[in-house]
Copies of this chain bind each other. A is one copy, B any other.
Amino acid sequence: MDKKIQPDEKLAKILELEMLSVNEIIRERMASENAPRIPEVTSHLIGAGGKRLRPILTLAAARLFDYSGDKHLKLAATVEFIHTATLLHDDVVDESSKRRGRPTANLLWDNKSSVLVGDYLFSRSFQLMVEVGSLTILDILASASATIAEGEVLQLTVSKNIKTDETTYLKVIRGKTAALFSAATQVGGKVAGAGEDACKALYEYGDALGIAFQIIDDLLDVEGSLQKTGKNSGDDFRERKVTMPFIKAIKKSNKSELEFWKRTIEKGDQNEDDWDKALLLMQKHDAISFTRKEAEIWVNRAKLALRALPKSEVTILLSDLADYVLTRSK
């Protein structure tokens, strides 16, 4: 599995020239004459070997409709800026100590820089999308931004709450992850002149892909080891975030097990071996395989949405990409 070229890498290869231009725009717009700290903070993140998945989605969607202009390049840079800004603000928020296996910006610099440089990237992304000059596209990105922010705030209000249900969890991840995926695909189609139905299909693909992606991300936090994911396994447990594997396990827990979740998640009273206990409970209640099944449902929805789009090499790779989400280990 590891030696095969993954579908996101294949897409990146097909879109290589365009991605070079996108990277150039990112470098150019990240710079600030007045505040040299900005590229210092962002190049750390942007140079950290991210997969550039969101800009690739924008470029791929535009390619599906044989777009020959250059506005999609700015839009691809826009979504990467929004993504990076979100990461910076997440790092403040989560008090997380690792991101992609490296120390987070807020440990290398401080919370102040993370908040303000994030704001800078948001405003730069805003300038870029205004330059594209389409009110419809601005509307899509403005709504996505609001959904992202709502999802992040909702996540705050439900964390430490073992009554969190799957509907609420879905709202959170649709906001914090899927909204940018679906905006990325939609604006790529829109700028290329795709019709209503195609844009709706692009939205649905991005939405379902993003949801599957985040479910698997949350699953990896439960399953993963530090080497594999660059993320501390059990972070969500320690931060008392009730993700899908927890919801599945809590739903089937008996009275004494519920006391365990109350103590560790709600009260935050955690002992050294509690994470192992939590894992055992998840295994006992099949939480991990049930979570994986949910991710599979969303992957199938993503693939179904692709049927309404033009058939091409890119469509096949987008379909493979959806499958790949289920197998990724980082």
Contact of A150 (CB < 8 Å), options: B120, B130, B138, B142: B120
Is A146 an interface residue, CB under 8 A from the partner? yes
Are A119 and B149 in contact (CB-based, < 8 A)? yes
Is A126 an interface residue, CB under 8 A from the partner? yes
A122 and chain B: residue at smallest CB distance: B122
Is A38 an interface residue, CB under 8 A from the partner? yes
A120 and chain B: residue at smallest CB distance: B149
Q: Which residues of B contact A89 (CB under 8 A)?
A: 115-116, 119
Are B148 and A123 in contact (CB-based, < 8 A)? yes
Is A316 an interface residue, CB under 8 A from the partner? no
Taking A32-B150, A112-B93, A127-B146 as contacts, is the C-beta distance between A157 and B37 under 8 angstroms?
A: yes
Query: In angstroms, how far is the closest chain B Cβ from the Cβ of A287?
Result: 25
A32 and chain B: residue at smallest CB distance: B150
Are B154 and A127 in contact (CB-based, < 8 A)? no
Are A146 and B171 in contact (CB-based, < 8 A)? no
Q: Which residues of B contact A119 (CB under 8 A)?
A: 89, 122, 148-149, 152
Q: Which residues of B contact A111 (CB under 8 A)?
A: 92-93, 111
Are B145 and A123 in contact (CB-based, < 8 A)? yes
Q: Which residues of B contact A115 (CB under 8 A)?
A: 89, 92-93, 115
Contact of A149 (CB < 8 Å), options: B123, B133, B146, B148: B123
A280 CA / B248 CA spacing, docked (Å): 65
Is A12 an interface residue, CB under 8 A from the partner? no
A139 CA / B135 CA spacing, docked (Å): 12
A121 and chain B: residue at smallest CB distance: B149
Taking A93-B112, A133-B135, A138-B130 as contacts, is the C-beta distance between A153 and B123 under 8 angstroms?
A: no
Are A145 and B126 in contact (CB-based, < 8 A)? yes
A109 and chain B: residue at smallest CB distance: B156
A171 CA / B146 CA spacing, docked (Å): 30
Contact of A37 (CB < 8 Å), options: B151, B156, B171: B156
Query: In angstroms, how far is the closest chain B Cβ from the Cβ of A102?
Result: 21
Contact of A154 (CB < 8 Å), options: B34, B130, B138, B139: B34
7 more contacts with CB within 8 A, not counting A92-B112, A122-B149, A133-B135, are A36-B157, A38-B150, A93-B112, A123-B149, A127-B139, A127-B143, A130-B139
